[in-house]
Amino acid sequence: MYDRICQSVDRNAQEIIAWRRDFHRHAEIAMLEMRTASLVASRLASWGYSVSLGESVCDMTHLSYMATPEQLESHYQRALGENPATAYLEQVRNGATAVIGLLDCGEGPVVGLHCELDAVPVTESTRADYRPVREGFASIHPGMAHTCGHDANLAAMLGCAKALSEVRDHLHGKVKFIFKPADERGQGAAMLIPKGHLDDVDYLFSTHLFGRELGVPGADIMSNFPETLATGRMEAVFRGKASSPTAHPQLCKNVITAMGTAITNLQSIPRHGEGVTRVQVLHVHAGEKRGGVPEEGVMEISYAGQTMEIRRFLEDYALRIFKASAEMHGVTCDVHQTEGFPPILSDAELAERMESVANAHVPGVCVRYVPHRTLYGTDDFVYMMEKVREHGGLATDTQQISDVQGIVHTGEFDYDESVIPKTAKVFAATVYDLLKQAVKEETP
Ligand SMILES: [Zn+2]
């Protein structure tokens, strides 16, 4: 059966890569993934998955970011012009772009496979010798580009979905594909979790494309994520008082002075003896060129610690610095956390299972499980993993390792597509392995 799965993906490899290039060319950013979602839905449906999308699968009540009605409408019109799958487009035109595809193969465990839908809000390069331009699949939409590799993740998951549909008579359980919107806004998981999609999942997987520096030599896929940090971001808004800088400088309460004090001291937060720390000032804005003393200034920082305790240490320290810097210069400061994720930790049992299945049954692909590697950032998939673990399920975030050119999240990012069918095979073989037994496996 593993051979059949691998042959299916090999047969479809060109098509899988064509899907990737099509998603890439028609990139869509957070909350506007209408064409992408409707194409994903129509493909899954054509392979026998029951598909749900739109508000029935997406909680839209607690969004930190939403596209404007004008953006939604004009994007809908754009998608309509570019999208053959119009039956599904209507259901996602309000920005509820999540897609759930379920292959119900009777009694047995539920395997969840997660994948992001959105591109990055940057304009892709038009440089003639940039490969996506040269080969005609660069994004045709300024301000939207798949330079985080979610197009690879999408194509791999679809390739896996198609291969599994062909062996469905040999599966015992359910395969649930969870296509998540707004990853780049960090709010996709918050849209999906309240709808209960993770409540019955026994095994949860995700995949993301990365460059070789995050893998180990020779590996095509890492079946776990690198050890990650607990990350956070804070925005601090300083408010002061303007006055004539020459006639009455004593009356000015200058936010820039307070912000400067804060910046210097943020960089002076001590290291932590029990793990690594990161602190960076990301964004500072106050005043206008040739203007007077500004009354308001905004600063954003990012910070990360090896554990939640270390992150809290950084948070408390940063809050004290903001408060004291403001007070020192007679201004006020309101601080709020804009983002915060716990570290991603993959379950060894599941990551090792993927490694052993792939290495025994998927020729030509090297899968490695290596715990405790480079420390790295994190994302909101971690909440989906935690949800699955609440009822005893297992979860792992995996990486497709590719030769990457350019820098992620910029206007130029390209990678070797041959990893996409490899990933599809490994996922399909692993899901088959988890669902091949007719008896329900004991709850992990
Ligand atoms: Zn990404």
DSSP states of 1-48? -HHHHHHHHHHHHHHHHHHHHHHHHT--BTT--HHHHHHHHHHHHHTT
- Alpha-helical runs (H) found in 362-418: 381-390
Q: Are 252 and 322 in a shared domain? A: yes
Mean pLDDT computed over every residue of the chain = 93
Q: How confident is the model at residue 439 (pLDDT cuts 50, 70, 90)?
A: low
Query: Do the domain assignments include residue 442?
Result: no
Q: How far is the CA of 23 from the centre of ligand 1 (A)?
A: 15
Domain ends where: 341, 361, 390? 341
Give the H or E element holding residue 49: none
What pLDDT does 374 receive? Answer: 66
Domain ends where: 315, 341, 367? 341
Region of poorest pLDDT, from 294-303, 310-319, 337-346, 400-409: 337-346
- Host domain of residue 325: 230-341
pLDDT at 305 over 80: yes
Q: How far is the CA of 408 from the centre of ligand 1 (A)?
A: 9
Q: How far is the CA of 148 from the centre of ligand 1 (A)?
A: 5
Query: Do the domain assignments include residue 443?
Result: no
Query: Do the domain assignments include residue 441?
Result: no
- pLDDT per position as a tens digit, 169-210: 999 999 999 999 999 888 899 999 999 999 999 999 999 999
Q: Are 182 and 271 in a shared domain? A: no
Q: How far is the CA of 249 from the centre of ligand 1 (A)?
A: 48
DSSP letter, residue 72 = H
What pLDDT does 136 receive? Answer: 96
Count Cα neighbours of 356 within 13 Å in the Cβ-side half-sphere: 8
Nearest CA to 365 out of 422, 442, 427 is that of 422
409 is in an annotated binding site: yes
Q: How far is the CA of 47 from the centre of ligand 1 (A)?
A: 27
- pLDDT per position as a tens digit, 224-241: 987 788 999 999 999 999
CB 82 within 8 A of CB 139: no
Q: How far is the CA of 438 from the centre of ligand 1 (A)?
A: 36
Q: How far is the CA of 146 from the centre of ligand 1 (A)?
A: 9
Region of poorest pLDDT, from 40-54, 240-254, 389-403: 240-254
pLDDT at 73 over 90: yes
Q: How confident is the model at residue 62 (pLDDT cuts 50, 70, 90)?
A: confident
CB 207 within 8 A of CB 156: yes
Q: Are 294 and 148 in a shared domain? A: no
Q: Are 429 and 283 in a shared domain? A: no
Please tell me the distance from the alpha carbon of residue 269 to that of residue 277, in angstroms, as a whole number.
10
Q: How far is the CA of 226 from the centre of ligand 1 (A)?
A: 14
Rounded to 5 degrees, φ, ψ at 138 are -65, 155
Q: Are 192 and 162 in a shared domain? A: yes
Q: How far is the CA of 130 from the centre of ligand 1 (A)?
A: 21
What pLDDT does 213 receive? Answer: 84
Q: How far is the CA of 70 from the centre of ligand 1 (A)?
A: 26
What pLDDT does 235 receive? Answer: 96
- pLDDT per position as a tens digit, 21-45: 999 999 999 999 999 999 999 999 9
208 is in an annotated binding site: yes
Q: How far is the CA of 208 from the centre of ligand 1 (A)?
A: 7
- The angle, 0 to 180 degrees and rounded to 10, between the axes of the packed helices 69-82 and 34-46 is 50
Burial of 181 (0-12, 13-18, 19+ CB in 10 A): buried
CATH number of the domain to which 262 belongs:
3.30.70.360
Query: Do the domain assignments include residue 386?
Result: yes
Q: How far is the CA of 154 from the centre of ligand 1 (A)?
A: 11
Q: How far is the CA of 254 from the centre of ligand 1 (A)?
A: 39
Q: Are 308 and 177 in a shared domain? A: no
Report residue 129 CA to chain centroid gap. Answer: 28
Region of poorest pLDDT, from 172-181, 264-273, 276-285, 366-375: 366-375
Q: How far is the CA of 305 from the centre of ligand 1 (A)?
A: 20
What pLDDT does 441 receive? Answer: 52
Dihedral (Cα; 263, 265, 266, 270), 10-degree rounding: 160
184 is in an annotated binding site: yes
Written as six digits, the tokens of 285 are 């804005």
Q: Are 135 and 193 in a shared domain? A: yes
Q: How far is the CA of 1 from the centre of ligand 1 (A)?
A: 32
pLDDT at 432 over 70: yes
Buried b (16+ CB within 10 A) or exposed e, 80-106: eebbebeebbebbbbbbbbbbbbbebe
Query: Do the domain assignments include residue 415?
Result: yes
Domain ends where: 279, 310, 341? 341
Please tell me the distance from the alpha carbon of residue 173 to that of residue 243, in angstroms, as a whole number.
70
Average pLDDT over residues 376-394: 90
Rounded to 5 degrees, φ, ψ at 12 are -95, 5
Q: How far is the CA of 150 from the centre of ligand 1 (A)?
A: 6
Q: Are 194 and 268 in a shared domain? A: no
Query: Do the domain assignments include residue 408?
Result: yes
Residues facing 296 on adjacent strands: 239
Q: Are 330 and 312 in a shared domain? A: yes
How many structural domains does the chain have?
A: 2
- pLDDT over 90, % of the chain: 84
150 is in an annotated binding site: yes
What pLDDT does 63 receive? Answer: 87
Written as six digits, the tokens of 256 are 């820039």
Written as six digits, the tokens of 253 are 């309460």
- pLDDT per position as a tens digit, 359-383: 999 999 999 998 876 667 778 899 9
What pLDDT does 43 receive? Answer: 96
What pLDDT does 443 receive? Answer: 55
Q: Are 222 and 263 in a shared domain? A: no
Query: Do the domain assignments include residue 150?
Result: yes
- pLDDT per position as a tens digit, 121-173: 999 999 999 999 999 999 999 999 999 999 999 999 999 999 999 999 999 99
Average pLDDT over residues 47-63: 94
Buried b (16+ CB within 10 A) or exposed e, 358-375: bbebbeebbbbbeeeeee
CB 426 within 8 A of CB 157: no
Average pLDDT over residues 12-27: 97
Burial of 264 (0-12, 13-18, 19+ CB in 10 A): exposed
Q: How confident is the model at residue 87 (pLDDT cuts 50, 70, 90)?
A: confident
Mapped onto helix, strand or coil, the DSSP state of residue 327 is helix
Q: Are 414 and 426 in a shared domain? A: yes
CATH number of the domain to which 155 belongs:
3.40.630.10
Written as six digits, the tokens of 251 are 């009356």
Please tell me the distance from the alpha carbon of residue 381 to that of residue 207, in angstroms, as a whole number.
10
Residues whose CB falls within 8 Å of the CB of residue 316, separated by 6 or more in sequence, listed in order:
none
Q: Are 265 and 329 in a shared domain? A: yes
Q: How far is the CA of 280 from the centre of ligand 1 (A)?
A: 20
